Chain A
Amino acid sequence: MTTTTQEGRRGRFLDNLGKVYALYTLGFVVFFFLMALLESMGASAQVIGIGFLLFTIAIYAVIGWLSRTAEVDAYYVAGREVPALYNGMATAADWMSGASFVAMAGGVYFGGYPYLGYIIGWTGGYVLVNSLLAPYLRKFGCYTVPDFVGTRYGGNTARLCAVIILVVASFTYVTAQINATGTIAAQTLGVPFEVGVWLGLIGIFICSMLGGMRGVTWTQVAQYIVLIIAYLVPIIWMSNRQDFGIIPHFSYGEALNRIAELEAQYGLNPAAQPIPGVSVLTTPMNAPEGKGWAMVSLAICMMAGTASLPHILMRYFTTPSVRSARRSVAWSLFFIFLLYFSAPALATLTKLQLLDPTLATSVIGKAFADVSNLEWVKHWSSVGMLAVQDQNGDGIVQLNEFFMRPDIVVLATPEIAGLPYVISGLVAAGGLAAAMSTADGLLLAIANALSHDLYYKMIDPQADTRRRLTVARILLLFIGVAAALIASLQLTGILGAVAWAFDFACSGLFFPLVLGVWWKRANAPGAIAGMIGGFVAGSLYLYLVFNKIIDPWMGIDDIRFGIIGMPVSLICMVVVSLATREPSKEIQEMVDEVRVPSGRTILAAGH
């Protein structure tokens, strides 16, 4: 009786997705105007910030509660009933982390051309996902990525190798996300960073514990809507206010030329006395001369990493068919594109506002006393993320006397442009949505691999549904707590750890996954050699370069070590596969079956 009413309710929910999320978006917009009204009535910045965070987290919690489930298929793959469009939104939220939302525009601002490798890499990777993997993995019908490796190659060793690489890559990534969640929560709520981390973790658990993949899917759709509104509204508002055009994306070319002039005029010099934690602008915005390899090597690692990160691939297991899996990759890239082609526009316009003396917002070349009295300068200086020091004593702010932490470009832009605080609250909610949604997906990818592949497939294949889901939830809890503990140590900046996750994933998993579909001759020993060889070579190189034991070879530094890992993986895999016996007839037939969209999945539901 309960199941039928529950199923009925779910059916109604799936039929009315458009209405449900339209209503939700409307509700969020109404809430935004309510906050704007409160601000005009004199509510403090802190009250508005807290309002935004609590309101959005409360909504995610309600969705998480409504999506609770006791079925294996719903817990692991959202019942395979997510339409392509919504899976595209969920993937976009899953994909765009705190790094994309908070740090990317700042990276372009400070890093210039080589940094654009992230923009190319984190979008171009979807071409690989779509053409090489997503439709075939969907046809396979697996629950997790190691599930594919274990079944395609056969044997627990291959499965275990995939689990280990998945855990290392995803765990590196998730600590960065929890770190970002903590930073935003701490700043908005005015609590210490450590407290912010644990508050963020509770929010993440609410979305994922009860409903597994189903809960995460429907909260991620909601989180995407919040984050994209929060990213686009300030850019368009700022652009109209400063007369950069109604939609600045297609018209900021002039601004680029102006910045190049100003950079030449001020000179890009390092600071006289560097201040730890913050930096001055030293890289020109658009100077690709001689940096082609730096940019492209980064892009290659990020693209191959995109196609091997399990939390992304597993999103395409949730669609009803192979065709809808492909279609949802296309939607994913569309929704990601909306943010990624805005980030460089934001970086450029923010830079222009700070540099161009003809604009009221500029700080460079202005009197030191005036600049240090600006509200936003005082605010960000007080938390140590910005510094203005008159180091040459001339009373004027020079370009190399204006220090900023790259991460704050997005968060501080509304204040720099003089927008009302309600926009800053919105941006904080968007950043939190981005970091939380990615953390959800990653934690679930880790916990599912451990519970399904390690526990159920390798340790206790007799476990019943109830036991499997209990184990999955307990693991989720433990991994979340472990990630939060490590995040509160603050080992690396947000972006360092994120790039490493992509390099780990592409070193170990890219070729074993791709060749599993595209090369019938690939066998278990080959895949194991490919995973171990690539992963060990990449990690070793990272260790040597990061600890300065060797100098980076050909400019391949610690964020590009996938360039070392991937070829090693490919060579190991091909050589060992050819040196050992070809896979059995059953496996070869299985590969043939995976290549056609029609027919049953390889693995049955509930496996």
Chain B
Amino acid sequence: MASNDSDARQRHWEKTRNLNTIVLILWAIFAIIIPYFASALNAFTFLGFPLGFYMCVQGSLIAFLVLIWGQNWRQDQIDDEFGLGD
């Protein structure tokens, strides 16, 4: 029982860590890479905005919101799968 329990915890943490890695990669894309290349993105137009500017003032912000809500939704699933939710 005890070993089962610690096994479940280990797999829970593995899944949590993998989810976090994905979230942080996406975060780096929207928070660092896209703003860095705003100049190149400005060649495109989106909703009448230069795309680079749009990403810095709205696009990335919306992406952050989706990332957090998405991660929490998935993390709740992981917690429930192993019966470790609170």
Question: Which A residues are within 8 Å of any B CB, using their own CB?
Answer: 113, 116-117, 119-121, 123-124, 126-128, 130-132, 135, 249-254, 256-257, 286, 288-293, 295-296, 299-300, 303, 321-323, 326-327, 329-330, 333-334, 337, 340-341, 344-345, 592, 595-599
Contact = CB atoms under 8 A, between A and B. Distances in A.
Contact of A330 (B50, B54, B69): B69
A131 B19 CA distance: 9
Given A124-B64, A596-B9, A596-B84, A254 B36 contact: no
A123 B61 contact: yes
Contacts of A286: 42, 50, 52-53
B65 A333 contact: yes
A344 B46 CA distance: 16
Contacts of A329: 68, 72
Contacts of B69: 330
A interface SS class: helix
Contacts of B32: 296, 299-300
Interface in B22-81: 23-24, 27, 30-32, 35-39, 42, 45-50, 52-54, 56-58, 60-62, 64-65, 67-69, 71-72, 75-76, 79
Nearest to A600: B86
A112 B45 CA distance: 19
Given A292-B38, A326-B72, A596-B12, A333 B20 contact: no
A119 B57 contact: yes
Contacts of A251: 47-48
A600 B42 CA distance: 51
Given A286-B42, A299-B31, A326-B72, A292 B37 contact: yes
B64 A127 contact: yes
Contacts of A123: 60-61, 64
Q: Give 7 closest A-B pairs by Cβ, nearest first.
A: A253-B48, A253-B49, A124-B31, A344-B57, A288-B38, A292-B36, A288-B39
A323 B75 CA distance: 9
B68 A333 contact: yes
A323 B68 contact: no
Interface of B: 9, 12-13, 16, 20, 23-24, 27, 30-32, 35-39, 42, 45-50, 52-54, 56-58, 60-62, 64-65, 67-69, 71-72, 75-76, 79, 83-86
A288 B56 CA distance: 11
A303 B35 CA distance: 14
Contacts of A330: 65, 68-69, 72
Interface centre among B23, B35, B42, B47 (most CB of A within 10 A): B35
B86 A322 contact: yes
Contacts of A596: 9, 12-13, 84
Contact of B49 (A117, A126, A256, A288): A256
A541 B48 CA distance: 42
Nearest to B32: A296
Contacts of A256: 49-50, 53
Contacts of A321: 86
Given A120-B61, A330-B69, A598-B86, 19 more contacts: A120-B35, A124-B64, A126-B64, A127-B64, A128-B27, A131-B24, A131-B27, A249-B58, A254-B48, A286-B53, A288-B52, A290-B39, A292-B36, A300-B32, A334-B65, A345-B57, A595-B12, A597-B86, A598-B85
Contacts of A344: 57
Nearest to B82: A596
Given A131-B71, A286-B42, A330-B68, A253 B47 contact: yes
